[in-house]
Structure 1
Amino acid sequence: MFKAVRIVSKKQFLKTIEFSKQTYIRTFLSQAYYCNEIWNERLSSPVFKKVVPEDLYHDLEQRYQKTKHLSAIDVDIFVNTITDSHFSEELLDLVHKLRLTADTSNTLNATSHAVVRALLKFGKIEDLMDALDDRLNYGLFIDYYTANILMDTFWKSKDFAKGVKIASMLMLQEEVEHPLSCAFSLLHCFNYLQNPKGWPQEEILEDSEDEVKIRVKFLRNHYDDQHFDLKDANKVAGKTLMMFCKNKNDPLHQSFSILGMALFGQTEALKKIFSNIKQPLFKEVLDLIPEDSEIKNATNQLPNQSVDINKFLMENVEKVYQQTSEKDIYDQCETFKKWEEERLQAFEEQKVRLSNAKRLQDIEDLKKAMQEKEEKLWFFDNEDQIDLKIAKKKKFYPKRWFGHKKSPRKIDETYIPPEVQSKQIDGSHLS
């Protein structure tokens, strides 16, 4: 017997091996934590079965161009049915346009989660980070579960800057209570501060020689709230560490709290708490305080101990994961069910709302048709009233006065113009 053998090129074979290695790299979170199977079960819902993403997008796009209005449930349905990376731009486009409409306040909780999962699945990491960071134009917000998945993904790719960015989003939302999110945040912040690279930089416009004047309604006074306006990487990481380590007195969190306060610039508050520190802190964490900091010398005098802090943080993440994973998975599965119920309820409410609107429109059309038919049948009996209505619709503008009219000039027919002769000038008169 002969057996058909597929010949694969060396380059393709190596690419396959590389992909398999990336797929099975061990991370902190197990596959069960991602709840992929339960998340994919949403597609069996009757709301999604007959939806064609391409047709739905064109329908929503045309509706927005005509009325400048989108429905939150329609956008949620489109976002959840996306399974192809070709629709990633359309996905963000509709989410942005929904943000510009009045129905953005009715955005479903599942929408943000679906956008994050879709872009993460398609490998559109930069687009995802830009959308999450631009909350005003996209309205995407993460929760503990989504943040843990993202920070685990960025740990796998060793992209600590993005991990700190996700942790800072929880800080901005003031959601710092989850133990696993806290452990992940400390791990990413420590690794990023050891080698601060990859933080997104703002574009600096070059000064041009030509002066450009722009008309604006009013100028805002510069104001920095030291929270949402934070852009500097050290200050963002510092405040993130402060928030996650607040009211925690063990050596690990106390060490990171001091580091965070030093990065954020709260030197006066730090000097007050130095006298209350009795237990040894972690030297590797305190060494990350910048050399130009005012409290650098004071922190060197604090009791400290040297440990492999990176290994300690990794073990801390694993320990916390073992304690919280089962509850997180159960809670998230229940959340998926809750979102499904909310979606079905919103879908039924929209059907009723559209049905009522159509019935009202049909009644108005019927009344208008009956009125036109009545005018035709009783035209001669109501001719005078119809003429009055037509006269009322006419607009009469007051005449403008342009002053007294001037009488036309009379022409004297007997008038004879004088003869014009050239006058010679003698040269003697010029002297």
Structure 2
Amino acid sequence: MLRSLRRCIVRRNCAQILVPKCTFLTNEYKCDEAWNVQISSPILSKVNLNDFYNILDQNFLSKGVISAIDVDIFANAVRDPAYLDELKDLLHKLRLSAETGWLFYKKYDKLLSLCKELVENKTFKLYPEVVELINKEIETQQDDTKTILTQCIGVLSKAVVTETILEDSLKIAIENAINRTQNKDIAVQKQLFLNWEQIREDKLEEQSKRLDRANRMKNIVEKQKQMQVEEQKLWFFENEEDIDLQIEEKEKLVDPASVKKVAQQKDDENYIPPEILPKRK
């Protein structure tokens, strides 16, 4: 019931939100036909999202790891917006490892090295927006980090400053890049979809084999333990007569008189004399 309620809320909210967007890429970049073929894989059609999510969540809680191929299968099997929260949760668990980057990912040492490298390039021109961005970052950082970022600004101060707006330059560069590589990009993307489907099947098969191998090893260990128990039982039954003879031999070695004497001593030790009462006058 909760899932049905959430599905209604999601659809209602989605219907009310209209987000205009402008993209540099043409519709051919979507590769809709190749994408539809990729998500129509038999593997994805067999996925029960509720059960699959519970299995992945329990596995993460018990082992602290989650398989990228499992998250890929879940993500591509989702057709209903109601499962977006589960997908977001799985992606968060998959991305718990450290990220890489420069300024946005706090890799300030690499940022300083990059600044020095760019300044040495005679064709490099500095956009004022870059310095503004670094200054904003300085205001929120600790002393050690502030020192590095201040050094970055000092290095960039040696570069030639351009009057061109950064956003305009980016738009021109993007449009030129698209015009040069559009056909190649689309062909590569379609091939990636095909490779993606094949890789998913291969990785899933590898994972299945690893699990089967682990289960077989576990079964072998259990069977070995059972065989040891059966061997002990078999050894006992095969040697039962010899064991009985050994017991009889040990009993014969015991002197009956000594046994009787020991029994008599125990009786004497346990003997309690009767209480003698005085005679009545």
CA contact (8 A) 2:47 2:77 kept: yes
CA gap of 1:349–1:318, structure 2 versus 1, over 3 A, is same
Deviations 1:344-373 (A, max 9, x none): 221121222222222222222222222223
Match of 1:352 among 185, 209, 212: 209
Deviations 1:368-412 (A, max 9, x none): 22222333344474899xxxxxxxxxxxxxxxxxxxxxxxxxxxx
Task: Name 1:107's counterpart in structure 2.
Answer: none
Task: Name 2:39's counterpart in structure 1.
Answer: 43
CA contact (8 A) 1:51 1:81 kept: yes
Is 1:369 paired with 2:226? yes
What CA distance in whole angstroms lies between the structure 1 residues aligned with 2:168 and 2:67? 49
| Alpha-carbon distance, 1:313 to partner | 5.0
Q: Counting helix residues as a fraction of each chain, which structure ranks higher? A: 2
Is 1:56 paired with 2:55? no
What CA distance in whole angstroms lies between the structure 2 residues aligned with 1:243 and 1:226? 13
CA gap of 1:45–1:170, structure 2 versus 1, over 3 A, is farther
Alignment map for 1:91-130 (pairs within 5 Å): 91-97=87-93, 99=94
What CA distance in whole angstroms lies between the structure 2 residues aligned with 1:355 and 1:348? 10
Is 1:226 paired with 2:108? yes
Task: Name 2:163's counterpart in structure 1.
Answer: 283
Aligned length: 211
What CA distance in whole angstroms lies between the structure 2 residues aligned with 1:364 and 1:261? 65
Residue identity opposite 1:93 in structure 2: D
Task: Name 1:81's counterpart in structure 2.
Answer: 77
Is 1:332 paired with 2:160? no
Is 1:260 paired with 2:130? yes
CA contact (8 A) 2:69 2:203 kept: yes
What CA distance in whole angstroms lies between the structure 1 residues aligned with 2:78 and 2:219? 35
Is 1:269 paired with 2:155? yes
| Alignment gaps of 5+ in structure 2 | 1-13, 135-149, 244-281
| Alpha-carbon distance, 1:243 to partner | 10
Task: Name 1:191's counterpart in structure 2.
Answer: none
| Alignment gaps of 5+ in structure 1 | 1-14, 100-134, 142-168, 174-223, 229-235, 275-280, 286-308, 385-431
CA contact (8 A) 2:119 2:158 kept: no
CA gap of 1:331–1:246, structure 2 versus 1, over 3 A, is farther
Residue identity opposite 1:226 in structure 2: Y
Deviations 1:205-247 (A, max 9, x none): xxxxxxxxxxxxxxxxxxx85258xxxxxxx9xx8x9699778
Match of 1:283, SS state, is coil
Q: What TM-score comes out, normalization by structure 1 length? A: 0.39
What CA distance in whole angstroms lies between the structure 1 residues aligned with 2:121 and 2:183? 24
| Alpha-carbon distance, 1:261 to partner | 5.2
Q: What TM-score comes out, normalization by structure 2 length? A: 0.56
Deviations 1:5-59 (A, max 9, x none): xxxxxxxxxx98984xx56x54222222233432232222232221111111122
CA contact (8 A) 1:172 1:227 kept: no
Deviations 1:273-328 (A, max 9, x none): 55xxxxxx75354xxxxxxxxxxxxxxxxxxxxxxx76665444333321222222
Residue identity opposite 1:260 in structure 2: V
Cα RMSD after superposing both structures: 4.2
| Alpha-carbon distance, 1:69 to partner | 4.8
CA contact (8 A) 2:59 2:65 kept: yes
CA gap of 1:243–1:84, structure 2 versus 1, over 3 A, is farther
Match of 2:108, SS state, is coil
CA contact (8 A) 1:95 1:138 kept: no
CA contact (8 A) 1:242 1:261 kept: no
Task: Name 1:33's counterpart in structure 2.
Answer: 29
CA contact (8 A) 1:57 1:90 kept: yes
